[in-house]
Amino acid sequence: MDNVEPIEDTLEMDHIDKFTLECLMNKSQYSKYLSKTDPKKYNQRTEYYIKLDKYREPIMKRIDEMIDGNSEIKNEITERFHDLMHSFITYFDNKELEENADNNYNKKEDDEDVLFGNMDEEREPKQKTQSYWGKKVNKSNELLMFSTNMYKRKN
């Protein structure tokens, strides 16, 4: 009895398996698979595509009317149409952002982003710098007289 899985888990796994097959198979392979494993769903799907072909022209006409704002349809179709249009607008906005990001990335690739790219080239200073110590700087060993010996403890 320990090996028995709850029914809910197996149903969930079946759902995930079906979804995975839908995503990984092309349409014709999935149709063949569906016709063998789930004929009822295959028939529903086939009927849907037949009706879609049958009503394609009136559907396209209504969509054009709704886009132009001349539609007389005022029910759930209008709400779903507006939801669909919002989805399309969001999709195209995101697509545009993605293309702009790709273009900006490609422009940055063209620029040289090398920190030490021109190290071998000698550059002349743009203007001569002046010394803050005067015209002549005297270097001496005066610092050598200060050593760590002066800090030693005397016993």
The CA distance from 80 to 71, in Å, is: 14
Of 21, 24, 43, 23, the C-alpha closest to 33 is: 21
pLDDT of the chain along its 155 residues, tens only? 455 555 556 667 777 777 787 788 888 888 888 888 888 988 998 999 999 999 999 999 988 888 888 877 778 888 898 899 999 999 999 999 988 887 776 665 555 555 666 666 666 666 666 666 666 666 555 555 556 666 666 65
AA identity, residue 130: Q
Burial annotation 12-27 (CB, 10 A radius, 16+ → b, else e): eeeeeebeeeeeeeee
pTM: predicted TM-score of the whole model, two decimal places: 0.47
AA identity, residue 102: D
The CA distance from 66 to 74, in Å, is: 10
What value, to the nearest 5°, has the Cα angle with vertex 71 and ends 69 and 76? 110
Q: Would you state the structure tokens that stand for residue 88, as one six-digit string?
A: 């399309």
Q: Which long-range contacts (CB under 8 A, 24 or more apart) does 84-92 make?
A: none
AA identity, residue 86: H
